[in-house]
Amino acid sequence: MPSDSPLPAHQTKHLPTLTYPFIYSTFYLAQSSDGTSNGTALWLGAQLLSAYLAAELKDVHLKTTRPRAVELGSGIGLTALALASLGYDVLATDTAYVCDSVLRNNIRTNLPHLHSTRAGTVQVRALDWLVSSDMWNWGDPLSITPAAQSNEGPEASGVEETLRPPFDLIVSSDTLYDESLIDPLFTTLQALFIQGRDTTSFLPNKPPVILIALERRDPALISTALARAPEELVQVPTRKLKKALDRSGIRWDGVEIWRGVGRL
């Protein structure tokens, strides 16, 4: 990141628009902290996860085809835009309200201005974790879960082919803050993995990497959540995370990143 590194999210919640430097791009991100939804403002987890990805995914541009990522709880779009600038095609998902109020417009505003010859794409679609994966519709350009309603017209996406499993990377940040969300989040993660498996092939697919960034604001809740994961998650070592953040010019911490591979 440039020398004018961003401020931590808790110092910028009052700002309606963030000017956010990321590697060679600058994102202009609208946000709202009016209390209607936690997903309409920037949180620390998305910031540190984006910095970690910038350090870990530096060779993505060398791949002959763009890898694909899906984000659960994309919020104002920072991580999705970071991944796109690193060369990923990204499916950014959140509730219909978050998609309509901040996420979709932030992606529209910033995606054309990514300073990378290998920049990927971002598609925004609503995904309600409480809707069974049996009802998911991968062909709908606005909402994977049919129960979600959007204020956007059907022409809004401009997407000819919708992103769908399998994904190479599944990410989520700042999404473990309420006990009622624990099981729906892990059920959704598990469904994304299962739907990406090619059961007609005798060769095993390479499993997606799963990264979850969280703040331990409620230690008991976080411990409960990690214990209820369908498969064990492994914490990225603090030393490795700090090294990645140092490269990005970030000198603050407070976020853990947990990693799972494929069998969630």
Average confidence (pLDDT) over 132-137: 94
Indicate the range of 76-90, 101-115, 241-255 predicted with least confidence: 241-255
Work out whether strand 89-94 and strand 68-72 pair parallel, antiparallel, or are unpaired.
parallel
Going by pLDDT thresholds of 50, 70 and 90, the confidence category of residue 103 is: very high
* pLDDT given at position 247: 85
Of 11-25, 69-83, 135-149, where does the model show the most confidence?
69-83
Rounded to an integer, what distance in angstroms lies between the CA atom of residue 170 and that of residue 70?
5
* pLDDT given at position 201: 44
* pLDDT given at position 203: 46
How large a percentage of the chain has pLDDT more than 90? 67
Rounded to an integer, what distance in angstroms lies between the CA atom of residue 82 and that of residue 92?
12
CATH architecture of the domain with residue range 9-261:
3-Layer(aba) Sandwich (3.40)
Are 259 and 234 in contact by the 8 Å Cβ rule? The answer is yes
Chain mean pLDDT for the chain: 87
Greater confidence, 68 or 198? 68
Domain range list for the chain: 9-261
What are the start-end ranges of the E strands in 75-206? 89-94, 122-126, 169-173
Going by pLDDT thresholds of 50, 70 and 90, the confidence category of residue 123 is: very high
Rounded to an integer, what distance in angstroms lies between the CA atom of residue 41 and that of residue 120?
24
* pLDDT given at position 161: 86
Are 75 and 39 in contact by the 8 Å Cβ rule? The answer is yes
Average confidence (pLDDT) over 149-158: 47
Average confidence (pLDDT) over 72-90: 96
Greater confidence, 172 or 147? 172
* pLDDT given at position 35: 76
Going by pLDDT thresholds of 50, 70 and 90, the confidence category of residue 197 is: low
Residue 8: which H helix or E strand, with range? none
* pLDDT given at position 24: 85
Going by pLDDT thresholds of 50, 70 and 90, the confidence category of residue 200 is: very low
Going by pLDDT thresholds of 50, 70 and 90, the confidence category of residue 60 is: low
